[in-house]
Amino acid sequence: MHHSIPLLKRLYSTSSKNWMSRQAKDPYCKLAKANQYRARSAFKLIQINDKYRIIQRNDVVVDCGAAPGGWTQVAAEKVTKKGLVIGIDLLPVDPIPNAHLIRGNFMRLKTQNAIRALLDGRSVDLVCSDMAPSFSGNHTADHARSMELCESALTFAEKVLSPGGSFVAKFLMGGTEHEFRKRLQTMFAKVKTEKPDASRKQSTEGFFVALGYKPLPKKIAAESPAAVEDTATVESAATKEKSKETIMDMQSKSDM
């Protein structure tokens, strides 16, 4: 369909006005601002944690899809200084006190190796993923991509979670999440599907919350697929080492 430029401008400004007025009215945007969280999505993790108590003092948390940093902020507050929080994203994340940040594609082996180097042998209490694909507009494709991200987070979780550990992953509803849920049920004592109040009603996202990890005997676990080779850069709030690639302005992601 061909639109004239003035019409496109009008459509764009109407949708951006709608977005701004929705943001202004949204109680979670206000709360995020008041509590200095970088994204309203911080409240999704807070609400899941209020219900299931998955993050404790001194815990080790791996947060996949961390930018702009809302979930990482929440986890870093909860684990306190003796804990360890590692946030990973394709995008750079501004430093967060008490958290290590890795810029890289989580699905790549190099990124996962960088996480394991930071873990330095410590096992993980919670692997959480709020990773989302860039939306293509094709719901079936977006759903499939979202399930791939869940699979990747779970395959990694299998290698690093402590017995009894937890796993939280966002998915876009679309049908095949039921298969994934079945896989979770074989690995965890309890599996729930949540749609926290902070998750917008009109969004098709849901969250798997899996509790009580039951590791497979080592030999079988070693046969599960790994990730693909790539590069990743590691940033540590503690060491203040920053890669050149990551010095970039973070765009506001207040819609998350």
Ligand X SMILES: C[S@@+](CC[C@H](N)C(=O)[O-])C[C@H]1O[C@@H](n2cnc3c(N)ncnc32)[C@H](O)[C@@H]1O
Binding site for ligand X (CB under 6 A): 38-39, 41-42, 65-71, 88-91, 105-107, 130-132, 149, 256
Is the Cβ of residue 84 or residue 146 nearer to ligand X in the bound state? 146
Cα–Cα distances in angstroms (integers) from residue 234 to residues 130, 131, 173, 231, in the given order? 20, 18, 32, 10
Kindly report the CA angle at 151 between 180 and 255, in degrees rounded to 5? 95
Measured distance CA(232)–CA(215) in Å, rounded: 28
**29, two tokens:** 């945007």
Measured distance CA(90)–CA(6) in Å, rounded: 35
Query: Residue 131 Cβ, how far from ligand X at the closest point, in Å?
Result: 4
Q: Is 170 annotated in the active site?
A: yes
Output DSSP code: residue 244.
Answer: G
Is the Cβ of residue 84 or residue 256 nearer to ligand X in the bound state? 256
Measured distance CA(89)–CA(39) in Å, rounded: 15
Is the Cβ of residue 195 or residue 215 nearer to ligand X in the bound state? 195
Query: Residue 27 Cβ, how far from ligand X at the closest point, in Å?
Result: 17
Cα–Cα distances in angstroms (integers) from residue 228 to residues 109, 141, 223, 254, in the given order? 5, 21, 15, 31
Which residue in 170, 192, 240, 244 is the catalytic one?
A: 170
Is the Cβ of residue 59 or residue 130 nearer to ligand X in the bound state? 130
**Torsion of the alpha carbons at 243, 246, 247 and 248, rounded to the nearest 10:** 170
Is the Cβ of residue 119 or residue 250 nearer to ligand X in the bound state? 250
Q: Which residue is at the shortest CB distance from ligand X?
A: 70
Query: Residue 155 Cβ, how far from ligand X at the closest point, in Å?
Result: 13
Query: Residue 66 Cβ, how far from ligand X at the closest point, in Å?
Result: 6
**Residues designated catalytic:** 170
